[in-house]
């Protein structure tokens, strides 16, 4: 059934040749974890190999733009290297998730960046002060800037919510059953694959 909201019917894209970075904040962990599950599920359903899904975390959403920028910087440090992912790990600190060398060889489209697309995931929940507004605005602009500066698709996985329940619903774990709502992570995974594949065609 076609719904009013959502990305609409999309073709299935083959993600088997893609390398996808996921950077997520850890604030509001229960919602983040469910969103991550949904994201990885749709990446894998599209054929993205486990070893080509590179996961990294930062404390809060405010740190997302910097972390994404650092991942791209790895390519400038080590552009013709066989270990751009290793360079990304060095720049972000030593994290085991980032130390795995991807199995697929870089293509012409990935020579500029170790990734075909990056997904930035954060959950901001409004409190009693203006903190939420400032962070939501800064992170949104920061992520758009880093996307355009690096010419690599960046999927906007930042939820800006007025209540905890809104977040649980958008992660598919809402209501008294803990199963209500739609997991937006699944849409972000599909968007990353579509944009990663299309980017190769646009280059």
Q: Which residues are catalytic?
A: 131
Quickly count: other Cβ atoms within 10 Å of residue 49's Cβ. Answer: 17
Sites for ligand DLZ among residues 134-153 (CB under 6 A): 135
Site string for ligand DLZ, 51-70 (x = CB under 6 A): --------xxxxx-------
- The residue sitting closest to ligand DLZ, measured at its beta carbon, is 60
Please, what is the minimum distance in Å from the beta carbon of residue 133 to ligand DLZ? 12
Of 131, 148, 163, 165, the one binding ligand DLZ (CB under 6 A) is 131
Tokens standing for residue 76 = 């400038």
Q: How far apart are CA 58 and CA 81, in angstroms?
A: 26
Of 27 and 156, nearer to ligand DLZ (C-beta) is 27
- Closer to ligand DLZ by CB, 101 or 165: give it: 165
Q: Which is nearer to ligand DLZ, 50 or 133 (CB)?
A: 133
The strand pair at 117-125 and 154-161 is best described as parallel
For ligand DLZ, how many residues bind (rule: CB under 6 A)? 15
Q: How far is CA 3 from CA 7, 10, 28, 168, 177, in A?
A: 9, 13, 29, 20, 23
Residue among 7, 4, 5, 29 nearest 156 (CA): 7
Footprint (CB under 6 A) of ligand DLZ, residues 108-127: 122-125, 127
Q: How far is the CB of 23 from ligand DLZ (least distance, A)?
A: 12
Taking the C-alpha atoms of residue 83 and residue 147, their distance in angstroms, rounded to an integer, is 22
Identify the CA nearest to 99 among candidates 82, 85, 78: 85
Pick the closer one to ligand DLZ by CB: 7 or 59: 59
Closest separation between CB of residue 123 and ligand DLZ, Å? 6
Question: Which phi and psi (to 5°) does residue 151 adopt?
Answer: 55, 40
Which residues of this protein are in contact with ligand DLZ, per CB under 6 A? Answer: 25, 27-28, 59-63, 122-125, 127, 131, 135
């Amino acid at each position: 059934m076609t719904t009013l909201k959502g990305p609409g019917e999309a073709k299935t894209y083959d993600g088997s040749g893609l390398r996808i970075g996921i950077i997520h904040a850890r604030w509001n962990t229960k919602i983040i974890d469910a969103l991550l599950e949904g994201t990885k599920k749709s990446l894998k359903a599209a054929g993205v190999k486990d070893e080509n899904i590179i996961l990294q975390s930062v404390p809060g959403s405010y740190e997302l733009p910097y972390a994404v920028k650092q991942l791209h910087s790895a390519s400038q440090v080590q552009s013709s290297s066989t270990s751009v992912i290793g360079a990304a790990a060095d720049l972000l600190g030593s994290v085991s998730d980032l130390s795995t060398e991807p199995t697929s060889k870089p293509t012409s489209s990935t020579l500029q960046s170790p990734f075909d697309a990056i997904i930035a995931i954060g959950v901001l929940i409004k409190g009693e002060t203006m903190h939420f507004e400032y962070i939501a605005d800064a992170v949104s602009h920061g992520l758009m800037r880093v996307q355009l500066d690096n010419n690599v698709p960046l999927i906007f996985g930042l939820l800006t919510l007025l209540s905890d329940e809104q977040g649980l619903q958008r992660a598919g774990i809402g209501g008294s059953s803990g199963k209500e709502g739609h997991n937006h992570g699944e849409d972000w995974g599909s968007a990353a694959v579509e944009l990663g594949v299309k980017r190769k065609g646009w280059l």
